[in-house]
Structure 1
Amino acid sequence: MPSSKSVALNAKVITEGLAFGESPRWHDGRLWLCNWGTGEIIAVDTDGNIEIMLKISATLPYSIDWLPDGRLLVISGREGLLLRQELDGELVTHADLRSLSNSPWNEIVVDGRGNIYVNGGGPAPAPGEHFGPGTIVLITPDGTIRQVADNIAFANGMAVTPDNKTLIVAESHANRLTAFDIAADGSLSNRRVWADLDGFPDGICLDAEGAAWYADVPNKRCVRVREGGEVLQTVAVDRGCFACMLGGPAGRILFIVAAEWRGFEHMVSDARTGQVLSAEAPAPGVGWPSYSPGIR
């Protein structure tokens, strides 16, 4: 729960004019992210310069991460396909998830052993709802696909601890971060509440002091919490925060992707209220998705 020791941090705008930034990753000296609504995957440097790295047919949701050998992965959520970019630039199907669910897939994280976790999917939403209970699917390095968790209350951001032993997932509709133990074969067990939150967690990342940052769309902020829910730092902005990622040369820059939120029905539009912001963080990023230079 909120602590009297909580510290407010200030953010500055790096670049703007985006649609909806999602799935930010620090890779090869820049912040990569998905510009939802445009099909673009872009890279932004610390001066705000933007380069379009790839365009895909999906508009949303789609998310990215990298295999240990450096090849880019893209989960094309509504198509139910996990795509892989080969070294020559060609996009091929890495895994077909269509038989597991007709509902959209959302986020992806690749751990340090090359296990790929994708969430979303699950049962069809109830009438009047946009999302049903989500699942987590594992794709192992040998290509085996299996469901490893279910009944996730709107599955959002995921992160894996640096020892590859714990996966944390944001359950947006349950106002909590949930943890699982990761077995040697990538299976998940010992489901537990990592932190109950006074907010709606979206994208998340981990730092070297064992804390987690989460982005919160309706409360227009990013929050740093310890396991158990103690609030350590808060970064408030003037629009919804969709995701965050630690990066920069020393991993101590918190990058935030934010945009004005006008409801799911208006996510694809000509509005370009998306921004990338940054704030100095008290501890560097660790774990997966990884910011670390030379890892991937």
Structure 2
Amino acid sequence: MPQKPQVLLDGLAYVESPRWHEDRLWFAHWGAGEVVAVDLDGRSEVVAPGPPGLGWSIDWLPDGRLLTTGPELTRHEPDGRRVRHADLSGVADHGWNEIVVDGRGNIYLDGAGFDFLGGGAPEPGIIALVTPDGAARTVAEDIEFPNGMVVTPDNSTLIVAESFAGRLTAFDITDDGGLTNRRVWADGIGPDGICIDAEGAVWAQAAEVRSVTGRDEDPAGVCIRLREGGQVLERIETEHDCFACALGGPDRRTLFLLTAVWRGIEQVDDAVADRTGRILTAPAPAPGAGWP
């Protein structure tokens, strides 16, 4: 039986975009408009402001400056200012959700292409690239609600969660940062925020949730460890819906699970006010690798 995850921090709103950075887990605290960092003893602090509302993420430039997505891509300067990092107006007119900065300093962003939180009609999304010189362009289209992304340790492959399609999709990364050779990495799942380990396995969310079975005794969230092709290696159940996961700790063998009660778009404000968000931890069989 897999070990039951332990609560590290609770009483939060929605929690997303976990990143292990400078010996702490940093995450986007949706609904509170803040970036929070917590250590392994559960001591937390607000470390930076974030956009209001939901649907934004964090990562870092190679020089250590924090990036946040949202209506635009912003950079946090050492003096506390938030400035626009790159002009993406010529790429898309919507906001940006997930972000990953690879080992060469290339920034990958994705956007849904419609107003998900406002109840807009679903449309395919895109992945955009911002290169170290600030140039921005679209590198992938027709992504069915793009969500979490990871880059393999050798900078050769980007894997993106297509939440509405229930699959992970992989691309080869070209020398100039472009994406090619699109293929299904695993399907039949319910991916959101994902992470990758040193054995090439990805932690992602499973498709089965309480809303499917209708039984109160069933877990609301299930996080699974997958090989390419979809073989399930590990399974961890959580009391609430699991929105994202990350590998961290001194040896990157701690799995962080970010959970909260999800009641649908119509009840987002009530769910934020209920503060069901939690950071959970569980031991992982292989250390984290790649980016983020």
TM-score (normalizing by structure 1): 0.89
Q: Secondary structure at the match of 2:164?
A: helix
- 2:128 corresponding residue in structure 1: 137
Greater CA drift, 181-190 or 88-97: 88-97
Q: Secondary structure at the match of 2:159?
A: strand
Q: Distance in 1 between matches of 2:253 and 2:155?
A: 21
Q: Distance in 2 between matches of 1:75 and 1:143?
A: 15
Change in CA separation of 1:31 and 1:161 when aligned onto 2, cut-off 3 Å: same
- 1:149 corresponding residue in structure 2: 140
Q: Distance in 1 between matches of 2:137 and 2:48?
A: 28
Contact 1:42/1:54 (CA < 8 Å) preserved in 2?
Answer: yes
Structure 2, gaps ≥5 residues long: 210-220
Q: CA deviation at 1:47?
A: 1.4
Contact 2:112/2:145 (CA < 8 Å) preserved in 1?
Answer: no
- 2:102 corresponding residue in structure 1: 111
**Residue 211 (str. 1) matches residue 201 (str. 2):** yes
Residue deviations 1:237-288, cap 9 Å, x none? 1110000000000000000100001012222331100000000000000000
**Residue 282 (str. 1) matches residue 273 (str. 2):** no
Contact 2:166/2:207 (CA < 8 Å) preserved in 1?
Answer: no
Equivalent pairs, count: 278
Q: CA deviation at 1:218?
A: 6.3
- Amino-acid identity (%): 56
Change in CA separation of 1:123 and 1:37 when aligned onto 2, cut-off 3 Å: closer
Residue of 13, 32, 41 corresponding to 1:19: 13
Matching of residues 64-143 of structure 1 within 5 Å: 64-76=58-70, 79=71, 81-122=72-113, 129=120, 131-143=122-134
**Residue 50 (str. 1) matches residue 53 (str. 2):** no
Contact 2:224/2:234 (CA < 8 Å) preserved in 1?
Answer: yes
**Residue 59 (str. 1) matches residue 53 (str. 2):** yes
Letter in 2 for 1:172: S
Q: Secondary structure at the match of 1:283?
A: coil
Q: CA deviation at 1:113?
A: 0.2
Contact 2:24/2:38 (CA < 8 Å) preserved in 1?
Answer: yes
Q: Distance in 1 between matches of 2:98 and 2:208?
A: 19
Q: Distance in 1 between matches of 2:64 and 2:54?
A: 24
Q: CA deviation at 1:116?
A: 0.1
Structure 1, gaps ≥5 residues long: 1-6, 290-296
Q: Distance in 2 between matches of 1:34 and 1:280?
A: 22
Q: Distance in 1 between matches of 2:25 and 2:132?
A: 26
Q: CA deviation at 1:221?
A: 1.5
Letter in 1 for 2:234: Q
Q: Distance in 2 between matches of 1:276 and 1:228?
A: 29
Contact 2:145/2:162 (CA < 8 Å) preserved in 1?
Answer: yes
Change in CA separation of 1:124 and 1:29 when aligned onto 2, cut-off 3 Å: closer
Letter in 2 for 1:14: L
Q: CA deviation at 1:99?
A: 3.8
Change in CA separation of 1:217 and 1:256 when aligned onto 2, cut-off 3 Å: farther
Larger relative contact order (Cα-Cα within 8 Å, sequence gap ≥ 6): 1
Letter in 2 for 1:200: G
Matching of residues 135-284 of structure 1 within 5 Å: 135-197=126-188, 199-216=189-206, 219=209, 220-268=221-269, 269-284=272-287
Q: Secondary structure at the match of 1:106?
A: coil
Q: Secondary structure at the match of 2:266?
A: helix
- 2:218 corresponding residue in structure 1: none
Contact 2:195/2:288 (CA < 8 Å) preserved in 1?
Answer: yes
